[in-house]
């Protein structure tokens, strides 16, 4: 029987306040941050307290709940107008994760239809976004795991597309959790993922919590790992998928896809349909967030680069659909994605 690993919850609503697990200080400390308004939520998203496209969207939805409670208390007659500034602040927090904008648009539709106190309606809507994400991840995990042949031994993942990047269970790590539970794989390799080290700090931590054997490697070691036939699949998440199947994900994903194709390793993207942006025709149109040079020039709070050196720090890159063997969503599996196949999946 499949074991469901669902003990890690990075986003919690408690006593009419939003609490986020501070992912900046994991695995050294397990600390929740209390958030009381939309400005604090936006800052938490921007400062990487919470990260991962689905988790950002869920967090933003609860940010709207907090904002609505405050604005309605301030001015019951005009709260709908006042909350627009809060929604703009939330929308500006990070540009690449399409789930952020999907969640805000969903909450705006609820706002437009409300007559009276908005709190319960918006809180229920945010709760549903959270639960739907967890349910979708569990379904995705099962669908993706079925593509991995029993006895495949090991897979490689990049960044963190686990429970910490979602409402719970995870996208790429959801597939890995299901595959391990079904005894299709025995081991996980995880890229460290510079400059924020999400693989080292977060993915490794999640796997250790679930007692799934995990080995870290520097990104530069991935080619040698594949050459030695150590992994059968690369499994990653996504922050935005264009309508043709091009995939924006953490910087370094594109390189893994190129290496995987050269070495005959399959490449899987696991993401909810809220990550698919049907308004964008191809990956070149996806906005790529440029973050501070200091993240590359330093490790933690310690500068490691030579004084006077500059850094280029795109947070994401785009993997062409031609290098993707399969995209797995809660609606199904798309092999060798194309515009037509993505559209058919979204309309299913």
Q: What is the pLDDT of residues 8-65, one digit of tens each?
A: 899 999 999 999 999 999 999 999 999 999 999 999 999 999 999 999 999 999 999 9
For the question of residue 112 being annotated catalytic, the response is no
**328: helix, strand or coil:** strand
Tell whether 190 and 273 lie within a shared domain: yes
Name the domain boundary from 116, 135, 154.
135
Asked if pLDDT for residue 201 goes beyond 70, the answer is yes
**48: helix, strand or coil:** coil
**pLDDT tens sequence across 147-159:** 999 999 899 999 9
Tell whether 87 and 69 lie within a shared domain: yes
**Using CA atoms, how far apart are residues 45 and 33, in angstroms rounded to an integer?**
12
**213: helix, strand or coil:** coil
The pLDDT assigned to 96 comes to: 79
The pLDDT assigned to 75 comes to: 97
- The answer to the question of residue 6 being in a domain is no
Select which of 133, 239, 277, 325 is catalytic.
Answer: 239
Q: What value does the mean pLDDT take over residues 93-111?
A: 93
- Confidence band for 131, pLDDT divided at 50, 70 and 90: very high
Tell whether 64 and 155 lie within a shared domain: no
Name the domain boundary from 109, 135, 161.
135
- Confidence band for 70, pLDDT divided at 50, 70 and 90: very high
The pLDDT assigned to 123 comes to: 98
**pLDDT tens sequence across 256-274:** 999 999 999 999 999 999 9
Tell whether 105 and 160 lie within a shared domain: no
**236: helix, strand or coil:** strand
Tell whether 120 and 162 lie within a shared domain: no
User: Could you tell me whether strands 326-329 and 185-191 are parallel, antiparallel, or unpaired per DSSP bridges?
Assistant: unpaired
Tell whether 37 and 153 lie within a shared domain: no
The pLDDT assigned to 85 comes to: 98
Tell whether 225 and 209 lie within a shared domain: yes
The pLDDT assigned to 146 comes to: 97
- The answer to the question of residue 5 being in a domain is no
- The answer to the question of residue 1 being in a domain is no
Tell whether 110 and 178 lie within a shared domain: no
Tell whether 209 and 298 lie within a shared domain: yes
- The answer to the question of residue 277 being in a domain is yes
Instruction: Give burial (CB, 10 Å; 0-12/13-18/19+) of 302.
Output: exposed
Instruction: Give burial (CB, 10 Å; 0-12/13-18/19+) of 297.
Output: middle
The pLDDT assigned to 6 comes to: 66
What residues contact 217, with CB distance under 8 A and at least 6 apart? 189, 190, 191, 192, 225
Instruction: Read off the CATH number of the domain in which 40 is found.
Output: 1.20.120.420
**pLDDT tens sequence across 213-255:** 999 999 999 999 999 999 999 999 999 999 999 999 999 999 9
- The answer to the question of residue 62 being in a domain is yes
The pLDDT assigned to 126 comes to: 98
More confidently predicted of 337 and 53? 337
**pLDDT tens sequence across 294-322:** 999 998 889 999 999 999 999 999 999 99
The pLDDT assigned to 2 comes to: 45
- The answer to the question of residue 284 being in a domain is yes
Asked if pLDDT for residue 89 goes beyond 80, the answer is yes
**Using CA atoms, how far apart are residues 292 and 299, in angstroms rounded to an integer?**
13
Total structural domains in the chain? 2
Q: Any idea what DSSP says for residue 170?
A: B
Name the domain boundary from 102, 135, 168.
135
Tell whether 206 and 309 lie within a shared domain: yes
Tell whether 243 and 340 lie within a shared domain: yes
Instruction: Read off the CATH number of the domain in which 302 is found.
Output: 3.40.50.10470
Q: pTM of this prediction?
A: 0.92
Range of the domain at 330: 140-346
CA distances from 223 to 84, 193, 237, 270, 335 (A): 48, 15, 20, 22, 24
Asked if pLDDT for residue 1 goes beyond 50, the answer is no
Cis status, amide bond into 27, omega within 30 of 0: yes
Q: What percent of the chain has pLDDT over 90?
A: 95
Cβ–Cβ under 8 Å, residues 97 and 240: yes
The pLDDT assigned to 66 comes to: 98
- The answer to the question of residue 43 being in a domain is yes
Tell whether 184 and 331 lie within a shared domain: yes
- The answer to the question of residue 337 being in a domain is yes
């Amino acid at each position: 029987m499949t074991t469901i690993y669902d003990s890690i919850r990075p986003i919690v609503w408690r006593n009419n306040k939003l609490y986020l697990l501070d992912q900046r200080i994991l695995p050294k400390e397990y600390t929740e941050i209390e958030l009381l308004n939309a400005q604090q939520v936006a800052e938490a998203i921007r400062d990487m307290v919470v990260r991962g496209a689905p988790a950002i969207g869920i967090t933003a939805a609860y940010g709207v709940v907090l904002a609505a409670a405050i604005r309605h208390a301030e001015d019951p007659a005009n709260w709908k107008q006042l909350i627009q500034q809060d929604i703009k602040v939330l929308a500006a927090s990070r540009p690449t994760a399409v789930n952020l904008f999907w969640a805000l648009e969903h909450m705006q539709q609820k706002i437009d239809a409300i007559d009276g106190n908005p709190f319960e309606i918006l809180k229920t809507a945010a709760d549903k976004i959270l639960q739907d994400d967890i349910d979708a991840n569990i379904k995705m995990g099962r669908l993706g795991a079925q593509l991995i042949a029993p006895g495949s031994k090991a897979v490689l993942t990049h960044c963190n597309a686990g429970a910490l990047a979602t409402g719970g269970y995870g996208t790429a790590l959801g597939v890995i959790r299901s595959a391990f539970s079904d005894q299709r794989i025995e081991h996980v390799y995880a890229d460290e993922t510079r400059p924020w080290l999400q693989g080292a700090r977060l993915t490794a931590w999640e796997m250790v919590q679930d007692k799934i054997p995990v080995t870290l490697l520097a990104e530069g070691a991935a080619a040698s790992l594949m050459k030695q036939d150590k992994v059968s699949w690369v499994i990653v998440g996504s922050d935005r998928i264009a309508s043709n199947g091009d995939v924006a994900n953490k910087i370094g994903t594109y390189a893994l896809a190129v290496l995987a194709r050269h070495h005959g390793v399959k490449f899987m993207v696991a993401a909810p349909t809220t990550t698919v942006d049907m308004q964008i025709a191809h990956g070149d149109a996806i906005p790529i967030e440029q973050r501070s040079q200091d993240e590359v020039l330093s490790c933690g709070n310690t500068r490691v680069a030579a004084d006077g050196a500059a850094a280029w720090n795109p947070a994401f890159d785009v993997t062409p659909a031609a290098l993707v063997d399969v995209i797995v969503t809660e609606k199904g599996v798309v092999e060798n994605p194309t515009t037509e196949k993505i559209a058919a999946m979204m309309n299913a």
